[in-house]
C-alpha cells in the first residue's frame, strides 16, 4: 500500500509540474531575445559558480566517479554550453533568404521532459535546462532515483536564478517523488511536447514508446584505433587519462584499444607508464564475473569505480598506482563480456596488423554494442583517418584527442552537449550532439516567387453530380465537352 501511495504521489506531482510548466511556457513564448539571453546567462553563471559543490554532491549521492572531474563536467555543462549557444537567435526571424523570398521564424516546442542519468546527473541537468530555456521552452526534470537530490539542487538553483532575472515561475522544475509511474506520467502528459532522454537503453526505449517526439541516446561501445603513424606518446597519455576521467561514466569513453601490430608493444609500455595496469587472464575472469551479470547486464556496483575498488570487489590485487585496468582480449561478442561497454575503469585491448584489420575489428566492436555512437583514431596518415571516417557506422569520429572530452565538444569543435545522438542505426532520431537547434521548430513564411500555371486559374466545369430528372443524353454531352477541353489543354 505504501508503494502504491508513492506511485500516486509521483503521478500527481508530474501532472502538477507539467501544468505549471505549460502555463509558464505560454508566458515565456512571448519573451524577447534579450530577455531569453539575460535569463540563460543568469542560470549559466549560477550553475558555473556552484560547479564544485554540485559535483561533490553528485559523487557522494551516486557513489560514481571523481568529484574534481564532475566539477569540470559541470563547468562544461554550464559555461561551455552557454557560450556555444549564446549567439544563436531563437526568437522571431532567424533567417531571411532574399532570393527565395522566404523568412524563417523560430517557434518553441513547449514543455520538455528531461530524463537525467545517474552517471552524469548535475552536468546533464545544466545542459538540458540551458538549451530548453534558450529555445523558449519550459522543462521538467526527472532524475534517476539514485541522483535525485543533486539534480533537485541543480534545478532549484537554476530556477531561482531564472526567476530573479525575469523568467516566470515554474519554467524550470524538478520532480521530487521519483518512480517509474511518475516518470511515465511526465512523458505521456498531454502538455509534454518533447522528451529529452539521456540514460540507459531501458530509459531510451521507454521515451521512444510514448507516441511523442523524443531525443534518446544509445549506449556507446567506443573503440580507439592507434595506427602505426600515430604520435604514440600522446595517444598513450590521452587514452589512459580519458578512460580514467570520472572513472569512465561518460558514454563516449574509450572501451577498447585496437593497436596496430607494429606499434602495439611500444604503446602498451607507454600506457603502463601513464597508469594502465595490464591484468592477467585469471584477473580478467574475475572482472568478467564482477562487472556483468550472467545475462550481460552491467552490475551497478561496478559503475564509476576506481581500479582499486574494482579489485577489492573482484577479489584480486592491483597496484595503488593503477589508474585503469587493461585486459588483453581476442574475441568480441556475448562470449566475451569485457568486449561490452564498461562504465568503469576497465579497458579492452586488441591487436590488429594494419589499418584494414583494425577497421574490421572496430566495426565488430561497434556492431556489438555501440551502433551510431563514436569512435576515436590516433594517426598522422590522413588516408587512414579518412578511411576510418568514411567506413564506420558511427556519427562522431574523434581524431587525435580524448574520446571523453572530444565527443562532447570540449576538445573539438562539434556542438557541446552531454546528450549524444546515435542516429537511426543506433535507435535514435538524430546522430547529432543535441543542442538548442533541436528544441525549436522553424516556421517558413514564403512569398510568391513564380506565377501559378494558367490552367490552375480556370474555373472547373465538371458538375458536382447528376441533377434529379436530368436527360441522360444531356449529361453525356457535358462529359464529352469536359473531356475534349482537358485533352486540348494538354
pLDDT of residue 1: 43
Q: Are residues 390 and 271 in the same domain?
A: yes
- Range scoring the smallest mean pLDDT among 155-164, 180-189, 201-210, 380-389: 201-210
Q: Are residues 260 and 322 in the same domain?
A: yes
Burial annotation 159-181 (CB, 10 A radius, 16+ → b, else e): bebbbebebbebbbbbbebbeeb
Residue 26 within a domain: yes
- Confidence band (pLDDT; 50, 70, 90) for 276? very high
In the block, cell 500516486 appears at: 8
Contact between 93 and 105 under an 8 Å Cβ cutoff? The reply is: yes
Residue 295 within a domain: yes
- Measure CA 178 to chain center: 22
Q: Are residues 122 and 235 in the same domain?
A: no
Residue 69 within a domain: yes
Distances (CA, A) of 300 to 142, 315, 334: 20, 17, 19
Residue 99 within a domain: yes
410 Cβ contact partners less than 8 Å away, ≥ 6 residues apart: 76, 80, 416
| 251 is annotated as an active-site residue | yes
Average pLDDT over residues 446-462: 86
Alpha carbon distance 464, 178 (integer Å) = 60
Residue 363 within a domain: yes
pLDDT of residue 207: 81
Average pLDDT over residues 403-427: 94
Q: Are residues 213 and 227 in the same domain?
A: no
pLDDT of residue 461: 61
Residue 42 within a domain: yes
Q: What angle do CA 295, 300, 305 make, to 5 degrees?
A: 125
State the catalytic residue, choosing from 22, 151, 174, 251. Answer: 251
Total domains present in the chain: 2
Contact between 440 and 136 under an 8 Å Cβ cutoff? The reply is: yes
For residue 333, the SS3 value is strand
Exposed, middle or buried by CB within 10 Å (0-12, 13-18, 19+), for 19?
Answer: middle
For residue 179, the SS3 value is coil
- Confidence band (pLDDT; 50, 70, 90) for 283? very high
Average pLDDT over residues 219-234: 96
354: containing domain: 222-417
Q: Are residues 256 and 312 in the same domain?
A: yes
- Confidence band (pLDDT; 50, 70, 90) for 21? very high
Distances (CA, A) of 34 to 25, 79, 134, 441: 17, 18, 11, 20
pLDDT of residue 217: 78
Q: Has residue 269 got a pLDDT over 90?
A: yes
The proportion of the chain whose per-residue pLDDT surpasses 70, expressed as a percent, equals 93
Average pLDDT over residues 123-131: 98
- Range scoring the smallest mean pLDDT among 74-83, 259-268, 431-440, 450-459: 450-459
Residue 466 within a domain: no
- We report the CATH number of the domain holding residue 361 as 3.40.309.10
Q: Are residues 58 and 93 in the same domain?
A: yes
Number of residues in the chain: 490
Alpha carbon distance 100, 95 (integer Å) = 12
Q: How confident is the model over 332-342, as pLDDT tens digits? A: 999 999 999 99
Contact between 422 and 372 under an 8 Å Cβ cutoff? The reply is: yes
Q: Are residues 412 and 292 in the same domain?
A: yes
Alpha carbon distance 167, 441 (integer Å) = 21
- We report the CATH number of the domain holding residue 67 as 3.40.605.10
Q: Could you tell me which residue, 444 or 465, shows the higher pLDDT?
A: 444
Q: Are residues 175 and 236 in the same domain?
A: no
Q: Are residues 181 and 252 in the same domain?
A: no
Q: Are residues 242 and 107 in the same domain?
A: no
Q: Are residues 360 and 318 in the same domain?
A: yes
Q: Are residues 230 and 111 in the same domain?
A: no
pLDDT of residue 219: 79
pLDDT of residue 10: 94
Average pLDDT over residues 79-85: 98
Residue 388 within a domain: yes
Amino acid at each position: 500500500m505504501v508503494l502504491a501511495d508513492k506511485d500516486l504521489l509521483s503521478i500527481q506531482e508530474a501532472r502538477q509540474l507539467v501544468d505549471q510548466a505549460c502555463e509558464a511556457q505560454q508566458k515565456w513564448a512571448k519573451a524577447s531575445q534579450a530577455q531569453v539571453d539575460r535569463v540563460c546567462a543568469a542560470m549559466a553563471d549560477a550553475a558555473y559558480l556552484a560547479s564544485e559543490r554540485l559535483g561533490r554532491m553528485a559523487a557522494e549521492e551516486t557513489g560514481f566517479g571523481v568529484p574534481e572531474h564532475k566539477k569540470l563536467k559541470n563547468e562544461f555543462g554550464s559555461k561551455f554550453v552557454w557560450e556555444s549557444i549564446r549567439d544563436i537567435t531563437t526568437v522571431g526571424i532567424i533567417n531571411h533568404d532574399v532570393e527565395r523570398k522566404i523568412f524563417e521564424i523560430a517557434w518553441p516546442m513547449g514543455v520538455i521532459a528531461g530524463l537525467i542519468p545517474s552517471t552524469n546527473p548535475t552536468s546533464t541537468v545544466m545542459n538540458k535546462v540551458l538549451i530548453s530555456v534558450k529555445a523558449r521552452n519550459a522543462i521538467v526534470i526527472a532524475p534517476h532515483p539514485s541522483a535525485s537530490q543533486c539534480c533537485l539542487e541543480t534545478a532549484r538553483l537554476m530556477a531561482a536564478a531564472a526567476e530573479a532575472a525575469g523568467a516566470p515561475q515554474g519554467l524550470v522544475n524538478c520532480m521530487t517523488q521519483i518512480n517509474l509511474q511518475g516518470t511515465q506520467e511526465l512523458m505521456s502528459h498531454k502538455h509534454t511536447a518533447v522528451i529529452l532522454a539521456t540514460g540507459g537503453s531501458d530509459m531510451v526505449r521507454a521515451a521512444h514508446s510514448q507516441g511523442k517526439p523524443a531525443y534518446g541516446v544509445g549506449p556507446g561501445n567506443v573503440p580507439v584505433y592507434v595506427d602505426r603513424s600515430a604520435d604514440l606518446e600522446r595517444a598513450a597519455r590521452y587514452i589512459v587519462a580519458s578512460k580514467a576521467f570520472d572513472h569512465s561514466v561518460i558514454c563516449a569513453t574509450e572501451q577498447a584499444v585496437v593497436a596496430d601490430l607494429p606499434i602495439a608493444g611500444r604503446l602498451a609500455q607507454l600506457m603502463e607508464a601513464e597508469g594502465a595496469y595490464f591484468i592477467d587472464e585469471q584477473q580478467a575472469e574475475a572482472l568478467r564475473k564482477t562487472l556483468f551479470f550472467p545475462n550481460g547486464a552491467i552490475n551497478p556496483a561496478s559503475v564509476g569505480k576506481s581500479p582499486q575498488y574494482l579489485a577489492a570487489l573482484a577479489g584480486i590485487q592491483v597496484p595503488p598506482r593503477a589508474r585503469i585496468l587493461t585486459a588483453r582480449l581476442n574475441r568480441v561478442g556475448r562470449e566475451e563480456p569485457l568486449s561490452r561497454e564498461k562504465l568503469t575503469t576497465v579497458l579492452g585491448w586488441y591487436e590488429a596488423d594494419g589499418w584494414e584489420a583494425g577497421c574490421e575489428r572496430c566495426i565488430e566492436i561497434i556492431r556489438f554494442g555501440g551502433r551510431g555512437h563514436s569512435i576515436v583514431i590516433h594517426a598522422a596518415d590522413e588516408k587512414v583517418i579518412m578511411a576510418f571516417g568514411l567506413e564506420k557506422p558511427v556519427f562522431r569520429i574523434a581524431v587525435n584527442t580524448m574520446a571523453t572530452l572530444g565527443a562532447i565538444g570540449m576538445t573539438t569543435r562539434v556542438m557541446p552537449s552531454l546528450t549524444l545522438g546515435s542516429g537511426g542505426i543506433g535507435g535514435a532520431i538524430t546522430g547529432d550532439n543535441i543542442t538548442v537547434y533541436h528544441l525549436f521548430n522553424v516556421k517558413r513564411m514564403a512569398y510568391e516567387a513564380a506565377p501559378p500555371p494558367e490552367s490552375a486559374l480556370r474555373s472547373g466545369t465538371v458538375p458536382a453530380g447528376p441533377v434529379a430528372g436530368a436527360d441522360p443524353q444531356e449529361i453525356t454531352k457535358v462529359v464529352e465537352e469536359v473531356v475534349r477541353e482537358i485533352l486540348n489543354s494538354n
